[in-house]
Amino acid sequence: MEPASIEIGPLSFGYADYDAEHDVLYLSVGEPEEGVGEDTPEGHVIRYAPGTARVVGLTLLNPRRILERDGSISVTVPETVEKNAAELGPLAAAA
């Protein structure tokens, strides 16, 4: 993962990695760490530190396809927020 500065709702992600082949954007609050995944209503995955409510990461599935189709991505973390390509760091660079 490379350093990033991506804000989504109340969360600040300091690391990001975009897998262009599979169209998956991995975001991590701090240094990547193990987490327990929970699906968001939009089909993404928010990861929590095991046994806690502390968010450690977020995985956005098909973000490029969604951005091309809708112009923004909605994700519930826990409130719903929208982001455009420029606000998603390495995903924008891969365009």
Paired tokens of 22: 């599979």
Express each pLDDT in 11-33 by its tens digit.
999 999 999 999 999 999 998 89
Higher pLDDT, 60 or 79: 60
Asked if the model's pLDDT at residue 74 lies above 70, the reply is yes
What's the gap between Cα 59 and its chain centre? Answer: 5
What is the residue extent of each domain of the chain?
2-93
Contact between 31 and 2 under an 8 Å Cβ cutoff? The reply is no
**Structure confidence at residue 43 (pLDDT):** 95
| Confidence label for 80 from pLDDT (cuts 50, 70 and 90) | low
| Alpha carbon distance 1, 28 (integer Å) | 9
pTM of the complete model: 0.80
Question: What is the torsional sign of CA 29, 31, 32, 34?
Answer: negative
